[in-house]
Amino acid sequence: MLDLAMGLVSRGHEVCLAYSPVRAEAGFLQRLRGLPGVTVMPVVMHREVSVEDFSAYSGLWRLAVEQGPFDILHSHSSKAGALLRSIPVPGARVYTPHAFRTMDPHTPPLAALVFGGVETLLARVATDCVIAVSAEEARHARTRLRVPASKLATIVNGVSSPGLRPRALVRSELGIDASDVLVGFVGRLCYQKYPELFLEAISRARKINPAIKGLMLGDGELFGAVEELCISLGLEEAVKLVRGQSAMDYFGGMDCLCMTSRYEAMPYVLLEALSVGLPIVSTRVGGTDEAVVPGVTGFLVESEAEAVAEAVLDLAGDALLRRRLSMGAVERAAAYTTESMVAKTEEVYLKSIGSKMVLSASSRPAA
């Protein structure tokens, strides 16, 4: 979202970015403060559905009135998408869910029916364009949520690749030996990202190869539970937990990235890792198979500790394999540029604004 905002500013657009200070992680806030030319507005919005959502709705409405009128109202994530698209103010509505909740195969049937019903209704009556970030998410939108094809666009996230900090420096700060194989996990510590599976896989892998170490970057509602699981698995010294830091600050010290999500569309961190040449071990979910090519950029596995551990062991025991997958990752990442993402999003904006103008003109009484 921050790269998109900066890209739009560089193309001459005015951008007002609303964010929730209670949901944002420290790394995001740090980058947010350094966005030149972007108006930044805090709106308190909690992750859980509660009566506090009425206050968030009021805050977004007030922002839209005081800072607007806007040509485009672009919402990201399901809750912000539902609230912002429901506000009765001018402007074309664009929505990027970044993985529909209904993509989780473990969602209870009643919850899936409710979430799916809301998404379908809003897509049909309060949205000019839904942006899917992977072909799989677009397919889900069409077939499961019945989003009209005319209102659907697929724009994969784009990344830039800044320089990495030296490997030796990162490892020295973490207390990781040069001979250790460091497996990274980056993401919010929550149900979707399934951090428990990562720990269970590292525990299994270390019984065969004790040189394997883990690094978990993230924060969230499961942080305490993750700490407790580390202790119960005897991983206090083998897995480092780091809160509120940028992944790019630590990628240089990693040997591979491990993603254990229950569901995804196209995670940004996956593309970041590819761009710096990190081999990937990922659960086979959502659009991950569009970026993770088995044997070329990494491995796709089932959502089981044994399967994840086996893939990690394969990488840990073969430096030449890691090097080959690293080259494949960089080559694959070249298709996912920030410039392409911004340009395609701008096209969606212009098309959405044009549709609004045509609709407005066609609804006027004939002279």
- As assigned by CATH, the class of the 167-333 domain is alpha beta
Give the Å distances, CA to CA, from 168 to 116, 173, 267, 353.
Answer: 48, 9, 27, 50
Give me the pLDDT at residue 305, please: 98
CA distance 170 to 247: 12
Average pLDDT taken over every residue of the chain: 93
**pLDDT, tens digit (0-9, with 9 covering 90-100), for 311-324:** 999 999 999 999 99
- Report H helices in the chain: 2-10, 26-32, 53-67, 78-86, 109-125, 135-143, 167-174, 195-206, 223-232, 268-275, 305-316, 319-333, 338-363
Total count of residues recorded for the chain: 367
CA distance 261 to 264: 7
Give the Å distances, CA to CA, from 117 to 73, 225, 244.
Answer: 22, 32, 35
**pLDDT, tens digit (0-9, with 9 covering 90-100), for 85-122:** 999 999 999 999 999 999 999 999 999 999 999 999 99
CA distance 266 to 263: 10
Residues of the chain with confidence (pLDDT) below 50: 358-367
CA distance 362 to 217: 52
Give me the pLDDT at residue 36, please: 86
Quote the pTM value. 0.89
CATH number of 2-158+337-363: 3.40.50.2000
Give me the pLDDT at residue 35, please: 81
Q: Domain map of the chain by residue range?
A: 2-158+337-363, 167-333
**pLDDT, tens digit (0-9, with 9 covering 90-100), for 17-66:** 999 988 777 667 777 777 888 999 999 998 888 899 999 999 999 999 99
Which residue's entry shows tokens 């254990």?
260
The percent of residues above 90 in pLDDT, for the chain, comes to 87
Give the Å distances, CA to CA, from 367 to 255, 355, 360, 361, 362.
Answer: 69, 21, 15, 12, 12
